[in-house]
Amino acid sequence: MAAAAPRLGAVASAAGDSASPAAMMRLKDAVTDLKQKALRPALEQAVEAIRREDYAAGGEWAIKALNVDERSGLGWWMLAISREKAGDLRTAISCYESALALLPNQGELANDLGRLAYSLGQKDVAEKLFSVFLLSNPGHPEAANNLACALRDQQRFAEAIEVLRTVIYAHPETAMLWNTLGTVMNEQGDVAESQTFYDEALRLEPRFARARYNRGNARLSTGDLQGALEDVEAALNDNQSPADEPMIRLARATARIAGGDLARGWDDYEIRLDPRFPDTTRFLVDGPRWTPETEVLGKTVLVIGEQGLGDEILFANVLPDLIQAIGPLGKLMLAVEPRQVKLFQQSFPQAFVGAHQTFRVDNQIVRALPFLAEAGPFDCWTPMGSLNRRFRREVEAFPNTPAFLKADPARVTHWREQLSALGAPTVGVLWKSLKIDSARRRFFSPFEQWRAVLKTPGVAFVNLQYGDCSAELEQAKAAGIDIWNPPGIDLKDDLDDLAALCCALDLVIGPANATTNIAAACGARVWLISTPGAWPRLGTDRYPWYPTVEVFDPPALNQWAAVMDEIAGALSKAF
């Protein structure tokens, strides 16, 4: 069982360690002061076992104490620590709750329980628990940091900044607080400002790996690829936390790929499958894993789409190479997002294409392949992105063929007939993603910035924006701009028909999302509105994955006016 890539983002999480030396000393003192002498031997053994990191023994001794008195708050506390450290977070959180109910005045318990709730994604619960701890420990830097992280992750940025501002005034020497403030600024889209705070964190603590990693990501977002790589390399050298290593290595992989160092970048990119990532998707499949050295001629190879819809299409660029390597006596089995089955089946008729299903179990994302019972056995399997390690180790390995997916010719003809009635060159437009938050918003131009493009005379604009875009269409109409809505198509779910529509258009303009990926993969002419440091450009000024794509790049993040004017000027001369 392996995993798909987690989100690469700024890191500042709830701080603290329930089994730190200071925490264990407090528990040891509490056991010494305990009036119930019958409980002391087992609890003393539990403390000692946890101190030497024997968490199984610690849990066993805690249970022995609870067998003597099931209302022992210290017993539940030590069992909670033991289960947390053993990785059994669900049991740990129940034990912490029992301990807190029996020891309501122990603020450290609220902080420990808050950290655990935070790690399980229960940010609203964590916020309340950190607030309880701060009531009895006002101005506590660690607790304030933790509360700010919980608020940030709920996109309550102003509140997070206020919490941090107050505690930074009292503790300006604490690098952790400056780093967390940088992540708040980054998450609300102010990447340039975030670097100021990462710089201060590193001034105070030059070997602060998380701040170095965060600054590297910020530099990557602004197009400073060399600075990004230097920072993540330094973060790897300085990192003291095994839990942080996979994310830093993934950042290095991304920086290398973005800079065109594909051989080392794709090899590094395998770290995305590391089970230490808490938000990694697990593949429910048994069988030998493909490696770049695997001989596939005449074999049956199962390839599983990974990450988002757009990434699944992007990585499919490599499938024709795999089919050629498998040969006519071999077989490709392909698992893709359910909406893409028809498009991929008509593109690769020699393959068996089925739908994967993704769901959550105990706060973990898993991806299942229910069609395998029908598809039959396979010789090896791989996540789709891993194929780049063999077939795309340099930019020159990307073929110059205009398309690797195939739209339905009959539907292309249908849409061309529909579009001909518009009486002008047809340009499909889209401007956002449905997966939008404050951090991602910086990759998408606000609709208001499209006015110069949409005012271009002699062009018929066609709506390709999936999801609810009625407000934007009304806004355009009020400004005298007509955007034609294609009838009888669900732009979000009818992806095979969307591919045909894109191929029937004269041009598609939009940011990198599922629709532009589909259009480009099918060979449609696409003007892609990119951003500085976009890794799929692979260190070039184009998208090597898609020969029909022309890239338009803003001068810096969030500076959309210049690039939209450039597109408007190019569009006025395009037809």
96 has pLDDT over 60 = yes
405 has pLDDT over 60 = yes
pLDDT of residue 335: 96
- Residue found by looking up tokens 């579009």 in the block: 419
CATH number of the domain located at residue range(s) 206-277 in this protein: 1.25.40
Q: What is the arithmetic mean of pLDDT over 24-40?
A: 83
Cα–chain center distance at 303: 21
pLDDT band at 2 (very low <50, low <70, confident <90, very high): very low
For the chain, the domains span 7-205, 206-277, 281-393, 409-572
Q: What is the arithmetic mean of pLDDT over 151-160?
A: 93
Percent pLDDT > 70 in the chain is 95
Residue range 126-140, pLDDT digits in tens = 898 889 888 888 889
Residue range 337-392, pLDDT digits in tens = 999 999 999 999 999 999 999 887 766 788 999 999 888 899 999 999 999 999 99
Q: What is the arithmetic mean of pLDDT over 81-98?
A: 85
Q: What is the arithmetic mean of pLDDT over 130-154?
A: 90
In 3-state terms, what secondary structure has residue 502? helix
367, β-bridge pairs? 283, 358
Mean pLDDT of the chain: 90
pLDDT band at 14 (very low <50, low <70, confident <90, very high): low
Whether 117 contacts 125, CB under 8 Å: yes
pLDDT of residue 73: 87
94 has pLDDT over 50 = yes
15 has pLDDT over 60 = yes
The region of weakest confidence among 2-6, 18-22, 303-307, 469-473 is 2-6
Whether 50 contacts 82, CB under 8 Å: yes
Per DSSP, helices labelled H in 71-140 are 73-85, 89-102, 107-119, 123-136
pLDDT of residue 10: 62
pLDDT of residue 222: 87
Using CA atoms, how far apart are residues 294 and 302, in angstroms rounded to an integer? 13
What is the pTM assigned to this prediction?
A: 0.84
Q: Where are the beta strands (DSSP E) in 160-318?
A: 281-283, 300-304
Residue range 491-538, pLDDT digits in tens = 999 999 999 999 999 999 999 999 999 999 999 999 999 988 899 999
Q: What is the arithmetic mean of pLDDT over 478-502?
A: 94
* Residue from 344, 364, 363 nearest 353 by CA: 344
Q: What is the arithmetic mean of pLDDT over 202-229?
A: 94
The token pair that represents 63 in the structure block: 């249970």
pLDDT of residue 479: 87
pLDDT of residue 189: 81
Whether 418 contacts 510, CB under 8 Å: no
Q: What is the arithmetic mean of pLDDT over 396-423?
A: 96
pLDDT band at 1 (very low <50, low <70, confident <90, very high): very low
For residues 239, 259, 520 and 308, what is the CA-based torsion angle, rounded to 10 degrees? 0
Instruction: For 196-219, give one letter per residue: b (16+ CB within 10 A) or e.
Output: ebbebbbebbeebbbbbbbbbbbb
pLDDT of residue 278: 67
First to last CA, the chain: 51
pLDDT of residue 4: 45
417 has pLDDT over 70 = yes
CATH number of the domain located at residue range(s) 7-205 in this protein: 1.25.40.10
Pairing between strand 281-283 and 483-484? unpaired
- Based on the number of CB atoms within 10 Å of its own CB, is 498 exposed (0-12), middle (13-18) or buried (19 or more)? buried
* Residue from 476, 422, 478 nearest 453 by CA: 476
CA distances 475 to 139, 412, 458, Å, are 47, 30, 20
281 has pLDDT over 70 = yes
pLDDT of residue 80: 86
Q: Do domains 7-205 and 409-572 have the same CATH topology?
A: no
pLDDT of residue 151: 95
pLDDT of residue 430: 94
pLDDT of residue 392: 97
Q: What is the arithmetic mean of pLDDT over 148-154?
A: 93
CB atoms within 10 A of CB 320: 15
Architecture of domain 409-572: 3-Layer(aba) Sandwich (3.40)
Q: What is the arithmetic mean of pLDDT over 445-452?
A: 86
pLDDT band at 3 (very low <50, low <70, confident <90, very high): very low
Using alpha carbons only, what angle is made at residue 92 by residues 86 and 97, rounded to the nearest 5 degrees? 160
pLDDT of residue 8: 56
